[in-house]
Amino acid sequence: MNLDQFSNTPFKLCISFHKLIEHYEDVAATQTGYVAEQAKVILKEIEPHPELRDGIDDFAHLQENAEVLTHLLSDIFPQALTENEIKAITVPFQDFLFNPTKRFQKILKGAGPKFDIGIRDFNDHQLYVQSCCLILEDFYGQHFDFSKPFFYDIPTANGIMKHYRILYNADFMEIIPTEKAVKLTPEDIDLLRDNFDDLDLWKRLFPVGSWTLKGFALINLFDATVENAVSALKGTLLSVSYNNDVYESILSVFRSIFRLPDLKIGFTTFNPDENKFGLATFNAKLKSYLLSGQEDELCANMMCVQSFADLVDKKKYFAISDVKRYLENEPDNVLAQRFDEEGIQSFILGPVVKNDHLLGIIELASDNKHDLNSINANQLEIVMPFMTDTIDRQYTYMINQVRAVIQKEYTTIHPSVYWKFQREALKYIEFHRQDKDYTLKEITFKEVYALYGQIDIKGSSDTRNLSVQLDLKDQLNALIPLLEKLQPYFNDALPVEWIENLRSMAGDLQLPLRADTEQLIQNYLDIHIDPLLKKAVDQQLPEASAVNNYLMETGQTGEFHEHRKMYETTVAMINEKMSTLLDRWQTKAQVSYPHYYERFKTDGVEHNLYIGQAITPNRIFDIRDLYNLRLWQIQVQCQMEYEHNRIKHTLPYPLNVTSLILAFSLPISIRFRMDEKRFDVDGTYNARFEIVKKRIDKAFIKNTTERITATGKLTIVYSNKAEEKEYRNYIHFLQSKKMLEEGIDMLDIEDLQGISGLKALRVRISYEILEERKLYTYNEMLEHIKNGVYTVS
């Protein structure tokens, strides 16, 4: 059998042991003693077999030299480890094996004669490109990071699927060009970088058999079944639909982890209001072995107090390895009786506890005694965090459904999505007219594109702290002289220490304001000072008029709130102006293509936009509609910046603002949260959008203390080259229209919690000729490109 039949790649395979032979020659020539003598023995033995050095291209020749090769490879395949290591001779990414260790042989034998070994999720296209990447790195010094974990999925004799991580060692291989090899130019290499999917291009630049792969590789496997199963479980649990297929996937994962081909899994819910166990409603296949066919039952009827306390309070697993023997000692135990009636002879119960509340109990069961026990019960610790979060999400889902049934009215709904709420409400009304039950379905929109932007008031926290300091200084400076005048009338009721404490507080206000300073001062005044001042008024002391004037100024409209009022007025004016402008431009944008829009006022104005076919099913969605909205968003951010720059001098505090946009290319799903009366991203996979947008506004440029946002500049955060290219085109277009100034800052963003690799474009906004006007569309931008006004970057 010719080895090249394994290789539909650029490589002509030549199995050679020349590097290993050269190693032995070096040992024999330069060393002494046993090691050198052993090397000479091996060299003498292989001397009649020059093909081992020159190369073998037929698998049969390898088999003919098996005994000699065993001796040659003895240092690499020590007999002492053959029962432990999973190792063989191979060529990277090929599925033929030679000289496997005894443990490897046993694994393959257990899989059966019909088993055909192959790398998981690795097709011919990937094989070809991966082989070319080896050449690019080894011969051209170009690093193409196409590495990913490789796995063999090999069943055991009893049907358990084991997962083995593949590690290659290519120290004994070299790559040699043939006369058919194409000499690559830097332009060819750049072309390859952007064309993974163009297999014809790869084959043209790396023809089949144009390079010789000479030598051999070592393949080492290690059992990654548990780690792989946990990874698979996490992926499965992210599924939005918990159908029967998902149940089978979860069951398969548990069987792999516990290495029990007939393992059964069940789940029993817990109702704390009624103190009852019940059936799981989110998957019909999840039976309850505890309930044994009943819909629900009081916990006290099934479990003794101690067992229940261990499960809930101590979060301990409860295991019985031999049900029948357990019943001999505890014949009245209802729990064991239920499992025995189901034919279960060993089981584990695992409490699902979230925030100290029992959600339910996972049940693992086996028909064989000793399969499950208190020892392997600890395997549950690997998966319980994911199972707990998943079941908690299911409970949240059910609670929302219940609220939806009770809820007769939704909150104010944006016109773009009103149709879906209306359709669901009409179904609900129609069913109830017929005296039928109907549960309002959750409102979701899948495969929509999200846009996020914000105008943030720069330094708002510092300005607020300053305004508080100034007000408190004014108040204490007025209060202390007043108390000094009152002190003779009150004597011990107004200790001198109180006045000194106030002086100390006034001194503290010369320093940066601490988080609790305002509250501490206010509490001190409320407890110690204000009652005395009111008594002074009631007793009509000579200073009563001055006290009355002081108390009037402490009110919300008084002089001692003047600076805080200025700050609050500034924030309110900025927010109102920005919101009004954004709302007005939004109304016009809806005409182009209807989309969901919401905004929030904080220390600035944030907005979310969602666009896609799911939101407007009666119109065909084109990706250009998304591009048009992104271009619109940039221009509106510029308009809001311009408007703020125009009114800034009229504000009580001339605060600056910063602008930020998040580029996010992946479509996501959103759902209406009944509890918060708003839309939110749906599912863990989609949560990245929310996580990123909550953390980027305070982010720093990598390796600096400079914020990514800056006054007078628009910052666009992105994560990949495609987003960079798209937004650079928008920027260049708007620079040509003098809405943005020339030049772009290319920024790397510091790693945030759970997020890394973000980048940003930052460009200065032009205030010179920018004024409110018609905004440009994406088609107009394309027309400018067509006319050669500027070129696409």
Q: What is the average pLDDT across 313-323?
A: 81
What is the spatial distance between Cα 120 and Cα 463, in angstroms, rounded to a whole number? 59
Tokens of 478: 């007025």
Kindly indicate the confidence band of residue 404, based on its pLDDT and cuts at 50, 70 and 90: very low
> Quick check: 6 pLDDT over 60?
no
Strand boundaries in 254-356, DSSP class E: 264-271, 276-279, 296-298, 318-320, 346-354
Kindly indicate the confidence band of residue 102, based on its pLDDT and cuts at 50, 70 and 90: very high
**pLDDT of amino acid 405:** 37
Buried b / exposed e across 325-350, counting CB within 10 Å, b at 16+? ebbeeeeebebbbbbbebebbbbbbb
**pLDDT of amino acid 402:** 39
Point out the least confidently predicted range of 23-32, 68-77, 400-409. Answer: 400-409
> Quick check: 312 pLDDT over 80?
no
Residue 670 CB-density burial (10 A; 0-12 exposed, 13-18 middle, 19+ buried): buried
What is the spatial distance between Cα 395 and Cα 501, in angstroms, rounded to a whole number? 54
> Quick check: 426 pLDDT over 60?
no
What is the spatial distance between Cα 290 and Cα 302, in angstroms, rounded to a whole number? 8
Name the residue with higher pLDDT: 533 or 394.
Answer: 533
Spell out the residues 6+ positions from residue 768 whose beta carbon is closer than 8 angstroms to its own.
738
Kindly indicate the confidence band of residue 92, based on its pLDDT and cuts at 50, 70 and 90: confident
**pLDDT of amino acid 504:** 86
SS3 string of 432-468?
HHCCCCCCCCCCEEEEEEEEEEEEEECCHHHHHHHHH
Amino acid identity at 661: I
Spell out the residues 6+ positions from residue 91 whose beta carbon is closer than 8 angstroms to its own.
3, 6, 7, 11, 13, 15, 173, 213, 216, 217
> Quick check: 233 pLDDT over 90?
no
If we measure between CA atoms, which residue out of 699, 670, 713 comes closest to residue 759?
699
**pLDDT of amino acid 2:** 55
> Quick check: 412 pLDDT over 60?
no
> Quick check: 328 pLDDT over 60?
yes
**pLDDT of amino acid 747:** 94
Strand-pairing partners, residue 168, are 219
Query: CB-side exposure of 550: number of CA atoms within 13 Å?
Result: 24
Q: Residue 314: phi, psi to the nearest 5?
A: -95, -5
Sign of CA dihedral 253, 258, 261, 265: negative
If we measure between CA atoms, which residue out of 53, 54, 52, 24 comes closest to residue 40?
24
Strand-pairing partners, residue 763, are 714
pLDDT digits (tens, 9 = 90+) for 484-501: 888 888 877 777 888 888
Helices (H) and strands (E) in the chain, counts: 26, 22
Its pTM stands at 0.48
> Quick check: 5 pLDDT over 60?
no
pLDDT digits (tens, 9 = 90+) for 735-770: 988 899 999 999 999 998 878 889 999 999 988 765
Distance of CA 26 to the CA centre of its chain: 52
> Quick check: 715 pLDDT over 90?
yes
**Percent over 70 (pLDDT), the chain:** 86
Tokens of 521: 């001062």
> Quick check: 357 pLDDT over 70?
yes
Angle at 350 between CA 346 and CA 351, to 5 degrees: 150
> Quick check: 787 pLDDT over 90?
no
**pLDDT of amino acid 758:** 93
Tokens of 14: 């030549």
**pLDDT of amino acid 401:** 47
pLDDT digits (tens, 9 = 90+) for 180-213: 999 999 999 989 888 888 999 999 999 998 999 9
Angle at 668 between CA 663 and CA 670, to 5 degrees: 115
Name the residue with higher pLDDT: 254 or 241.
Answer: 254
DSSP code of residue 428: H
pLDDT digits (tens, 9 = 90+) for 639-665: 999 999 989 999 998 999 999 999 998
Tokens of 703: 């390796």
Q: What is the average pLDDT across 775-780?
A: 88
> Quick check: 273 pLDDT over 60?
no
What is the spatial distance between Cα 543 and Cα 495, in angstroms, rounded to a whole number? 18
What is the spatial distance between Cα 225 and Cα 246, in angstroms, rounded to a whole number? 19
